[in-house]
């Protein structure tokens, strides 16, 4: 009987140990998978400003020019005003500066203003994103 209890005790300990260890391996694998997904998102510099002042943020992890702006705004406490259209998101205001007939928020990737909405512009490593409060070229 004593021998049975000892064997049962070690069996329970072994099962418990395997359960705990397999749970850790699963968590580690999930963490590594999440880490790999994050690593696939480009990290880009983001510049927000007008012709007089600009703020630069480096290493912003974002898939689009709009998500880069959203992330910096949420961390920095910058207010954004946007409107969703069929073609994508239009940024109407960043901070206190709102779009008007004279000046608007235009985004640029590597110095060029894309012809698609900022939430649909896919970024890649090495890109530089700028949000400029400028006179739109019509």
Confidence of residue 13 (pLDDT cuts 50, 70, 90): very low
Query: Residue ranges per domain, the chain?
Result: 1-40, 42-134
- Classify 42 in phi/psi space as left (phi over 0), alpha (psi -120 to 50) or beta: beta
Give tens-digit pLDDT for 68-122.
999 999 999 999 999 999 999 999 999 999 999 999 999 999 999 999 999 999 9
Question: Nearest Cα to 54, choosing from 100, 113, 95?
Answer: 95
pTM of the model: 0.70
Strand extents, DSSP E, 1-138? 43-49, 54-61, 80-85, 88-94, 97-98, 104-109, 129-134
pLDDT reported for residue 34: 40
Predicted confidence at residue 72, as pLDDT, reads: 96
CB-based contact 43:59 (threshold 8 Å):
yes
The per-residue pLDDT for 32 is 39
CATH topology of domain 42-134: Ferric Hydroxamate Uptake Protein; Chain A, domain 1 (2.170.130)
Residue pLDDT, tens place only, 21-53 = 444 333 333 333 344 455 689 999 999 998 889
Q: How long, in residues, is the chain?
A: 138
Which residues, 6 or more positions from 74, have their beta carbon under 8 angstroms from its beta carbon?
Answer: none
């Amino acid at each position: 009987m004593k021998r049975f209890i000892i064997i049962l005790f070690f069996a329970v300990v072994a099962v418990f140990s395997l359960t705990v260890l397999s749970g850790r391996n699963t968590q580690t694998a999930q963490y590594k998978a999440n880490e790999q997904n994050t690593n696939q998102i480009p990290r880009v510099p983001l510049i927000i400003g007008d012709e007089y002042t600009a703020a630069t943020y480096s290493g912003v992890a974002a898939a689009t020019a709009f998500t880069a702006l959203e992330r910096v705004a949420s961390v920095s406490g910058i207010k954004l005003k946007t409107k969703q259209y069929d073609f994508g998101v239009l940024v109407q205001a960043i901070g206190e500066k709102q779009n008007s007939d004279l000046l608007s928020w235009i985004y640029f990737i590597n110095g060029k203003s894309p012809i698609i909405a900022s939430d649909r512009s896919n970024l890649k490593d090495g890109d530089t994103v700028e949000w400029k409060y400028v006179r739109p070229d019509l």
